[in-house]
Amino acid sequence: MAEFTMELNDEQKEVRDWLHGFAADVIRPAAAEWDEREETPWPVIQEAAKIGIYSLDFYAQQYFDPTGLGIPMAMEELFWGDAGIALSIVGTGLAAVGVLANGTEEQIGTWIPQMYGDANDVKVAAFCSSEPDAGSDVASMRTRAVYDEAKDEWVLNGTKTWATNGGIANVHVVVAVVDPELGSKGHASFIVPPNTPGLSQGQKFKKHGIRASHTAEVVLDNVRVPGSCLLGGKEKLDARLARAREKAMSGGERVKNAAMATFEASRPAVGAMAVGTARAAYEEALEYARTREQFGRPIIDNQGVAFQLADMRTSVDAARLLVWRASWMAVNGKQFTAAEGSMSKLFASETAKKVTAQAVQILGGNGYTREYPVERMHRDAAIYTIFEGTSEIQRLVIARTLAGVPIR
């Protein structure tokens, strides 16, 4: 009768091993080169497309794994290979999920294939929400979408920043303000189709880590998109805005809770990316500590080193368990009564930063050079506590959920 198990089923193990093979044989060997080039690794994305890893089908299969572990397992393996390249591979999925979550069937069928292209002509997509003055504080977004009823078109104006694949994407998903009175509840998402006039790439950022992933500003200057590009459609938007206006006058808790649940369900995926990087660094450090000799014996013979490795592995496993718990909860419709999704992202991202720093220390001088991958992993790990909600914002969400009051 008791069905609890911590064991992966055969199908999951097969997918995990297949992904691990791609990460070890294709991603990892290319990692240093694309980190130095600071460019999108198109040939690696194409390899992933050829074997079906870079596709909506693959993403959807993992997404609908009833145990919830499909996505976290895939993220961990790909990011174990290399964070920058893996983000170039899964970045499109993040934009596609925006369409899957809010789009009509027709929008999903029209735009998602164009986000991926095909194995002979791969494309990427971008999700553009953040702005120079609206990072953690999403409600202060300024990009405006105004409806031109005569032409049934939306006109978008504003500047987005830090968009993964921004400007090089075939399809951009842009979040914009449709009703400034309603704060974040007055936002809507739009598809900007390929080659739409008025959308251009601004600055491309030179970054500390995940340098194989393209991050740039996206400028929207009188960008006109057909009415059909509003995700979910106008009727649904009007109904949602009417509800939000009503709620705004009487407290507004339910709308907020729905948005919160979406974030709780998506954050464990970022936690899983962090677990992948942390595990990779731990493994490098373990191997190095076994083989590097000082004072006539391997450095792992010293408790000072071995205990660090024990702590590193314990943290990586604990992070994975939190990620898996939250992913399982999301798929099984459990209520996140303690913000378990945010908890998993907070712990896993802080773990990745700490474990990669410990790995650099264990590798000593070598760890500080680009001859060894832990230097890159340490730089890469710093992103996890920043994007998809900083660690401080995760703590805020967890604390507010526990306390039930709006802690500042």
Q: Check if the beta carbon of residue 358 is closer than 8 Å to that of residue 285.
A: yes
The CA distance from 160 to 387, in Å, is 15
CB under 6 A: which stretch of 97-105, 162-170, 245-253, 374-382 binds ligand FAD? 162-170
Shortest Cβ 17–ligand FAD spacing (Å): 30
* Bridge-based pairing state of the strands 125-128 and 171-177: parallel
At how many degrees (to 10) do helices 340-362 and 391-403 cross? 140
Asked if 99 interacts with ligand FAD (CB under 6 A), we say no
Mask: binding to ligand FAD, 105-124, rule CB under 6 A, as x and -? --------------------
Shortest Cβ 144–ligand FAD spacing (Å): 16
Asked if 198 interacts with ligand FAD (CB under 6 A), we say no
Asked if 164 interacts with ligand FAD (CB under 6 A), we say yes
Nearer to ligand FAD among residue 184 and residue 390 (C-beta): 390
Which residue(s) pair with 230 in the sheet?
190
Nearer to ligand FAD among residue 361 and residue 390 (C-beta): 390
Q: Which of 162, 282, 347, 372 binds ligand FAD (CB under 6 A)?
A: 162
Mask: binding to ligand FAD, 202-231, rule CB under 6 A, as x and -? -----x--x----x----------------
Asked if 383 interacts with ligand FAD (CB under 6 A), we say yes
**Coil, strand or helix at 308:** helix
Nearer to ligand FAD among residue 128 and residue 275 (C-beta): 128
Asked if 390 interacts with ligand FAD (CB under 6 A), we say yes
CB under 6 A: which stretch of 110-118, 150-158, 161-169, 397-405 binds ligand FAD? 161-169
Kindly name the residue from 14, 217, 388, 392 that is annotated as catalytic.
Answer: 388
Closest listed residue to residue 90, CA positions, set 110, 103, 71, 64? 71
Q: Check if the beta carbon of residue 89 is closer than 8 Å to that of residue 53.
A: yes
Residue 354 burial (10 A CB sphere; 0-12, 13-18, 19+)? middle
Shortest Cβ 394–ligand FAD spacing (Å): 9
Nearer to ligand FAD among residue 310 and residue 399 (C-beta): 399
CB under 6 A: which stretch of 3-11, 61-69, 325-333, 389-397 binds ligand FAD? 389-397
Q: Which of 104, 110, 387, 400 binds ligand FAD (CB under 6 A)?
A: 387
Nearer to ligand FAD among residue 187 and residue 240 (C-beta): 187
**Coil, strand or helix at 150:** helix
Owner of token pair 């499909």: 70
Instruction: Please name the amino acid found at residue 407.
Output: I
The answer to whether 388 is a known catalytic residue is yes
C-beta neighbour count of 179 within 10 angstroms: 16
Closest listed residue to residue 73, CA positions, set 53, 44, 48, 98? 53
CA angle 376, 380, 386 (to 5 degrees): 160
Closest listed residue to residue 328, CA positions, set 12, 1, 15? 12
Asked if 244 interacts with ligand FAD (CB under 6 A), we say no
Asked if 392 interacts with ligand FAD (CB under 6 A), we say yes
Residue 82 burial (10 A CB sphere; 0-12, 13-18, 19+)? buried
Asked if 130 interacts with ligand FAD (CB under 6 A), we say yes
Shortest Cβ 166–ligand FAD spacing (Å): 7
Asked if 135 interacts with ligand FAD (CB under 6 A), we say yes
Closest listed residue to residue 75, CA positions, set 67, 63, 64? 63
Nearer to ligand FAD among residue 169 and residue 312 (C-beta): 169
Task: State whether the Cα torsion 189-191-195-198 is positive or negative.
Answer: negative
Residues marked active site are found at 388
In the complex, the residues that contact ligand FAD under the rule CB under 6 A are 127-130, 135-136, 162-164, 207, 210, 215, 383, 386-388, 390, 392-393, 396
